[in-house]
């Protein structure tokens, strides 16, 4: 069973590679990611968070609880703006106030290789942007103010030291 990589793990800072073929290996990555996401009770998970540098993320729709799998996601449209508290499975117990587009449209392919386009607003839009950031090596701390970093300094050091 894969473990969630925590803040300080170098893999979280690397850019993920595009998925060329949806083969058995990719299906296994998605299966592992589903298990990790459900076990962690998160709302989203990107492949780098389990140490795999592939452009894949999962999100749980906040309304209908359907699982969304997106491979090679791209944000094609953004609108509005809102600031809200945001956490991350790689930063257990830490929250930052982060500005994001209120509504986004993303495109990519699903686990069956079919091209998809999904519109998300509110929490779902925030989740999409957060997970795509992970695929680009961007973390929530990159949006944090100096005050927020000071507030969470001890907790962040603890996460870096022992991964929790």
The catalytic site residues sit at: 131
Contact present, 94 and 35 (Cβ < 8 Å)? no
Which among 2, 126, 53, 37 is positioned nearest to 45, based on CA atoms? 37
How remote is the C-alpha of 13 from its chain's centroid?
A: 13
CA distance 25 to 96: 35
CB neighbours of residue 97 within 10 Å:
14
User: In 6-145, where does DSSP find H-type helix?
Assistant: 24-40, 123-135
């Amino acid at each position: 069973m894969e473990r969630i990589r925590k803040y300080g793990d170098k893999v979280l800072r690397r850019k993920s590679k595009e998925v060329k073929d949806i083969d058995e290996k990719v299906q296994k990555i998605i299966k592992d990611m589903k298990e990790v996401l459900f076990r962690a009770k998160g709302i989203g998970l990107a492949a780098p968070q389990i140490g795999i540098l592939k452009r894949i993320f999962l999100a749980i729709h906040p309304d209908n609880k359907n699982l969304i799998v997106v491979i090679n996601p791209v944000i094609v449209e953004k609108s509005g703006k809102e600031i809200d508290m945001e956490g991350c499975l790689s930063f257990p117990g830490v929250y930052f106030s982060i500005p994001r587009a209120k509504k986004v449209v993303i495109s990519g392919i699903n686990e069956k290789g079919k091209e998809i386009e999904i519109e998300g607003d509110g929490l779902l839009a925030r989740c999409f942007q957060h997970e795509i950031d992970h695929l680009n090596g961007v973390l929530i701390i990159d949006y944090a103010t100096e005050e927020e970093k000071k507030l969470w300094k001890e907790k962040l050091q603890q996460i870096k030291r022992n991964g929790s």
